[in-house]
Amino acid sequence: MTMYDFFVSKSNAPGKFLTFEGLDGCGKSTQMELLAEALRRDGLDVVTTREPGGTPTGEKIRSVILDSRTRSLAPMAELALMFAARAQHIAEITGWL
């Protein structure tokens, strides 16, 4: 079974949650959109999102993390913001799975 076959296989689960991991600029968004387009062509419903972000609150947290004025943010503070964005993402986005 190919990865694509696994993604589109029918099962009792109402949905699948896939993640693309990698460094900044390595092509995660490009690969996500290519897969989403292929799945949509096969008639599947697809929701794409990102972390940090993906929700209105998550996008605000993302802007704080990426703001050049917060470059001196303590590593643990940045980690806390990342987890806050993820918690919001899980609460709002993955509830449909």
Predicted local distance difference test score (pLDDT) of residue 43: 87
* CA distance readout (Å), 21 to 3, 12, 25, 32: 16, 26, 11, 10
Predicted local distance difference test score (pLDDT) of residue 24: 82
Predicted local distance difference test score (pLDDT) of residue 47: 87
Q: How far apart are CA 59 and CA 65, in angstroms?
A: 10
For residue 28, what is the DSSP state? H
pLDDT in tens, the chain (97 residues): 676 666 666 655 667 778 888 888 899 999 999 999 998 998 888 888 888 888 899 999 999 988 888 888 899 999 999 999 988 888 887 665 5
Which three-class secondary structure state does DSSP give residue 79? Answer: helix
Does the predicted model carry a pTM greater than 0.95? no
Q: How far apart are the first and last CA of the chain?
A: 23
Predicted local distance difference test score (pLDDT) of residue 74: 92
Predicted local distance difference test score (pLDDT) of residue 96: 57
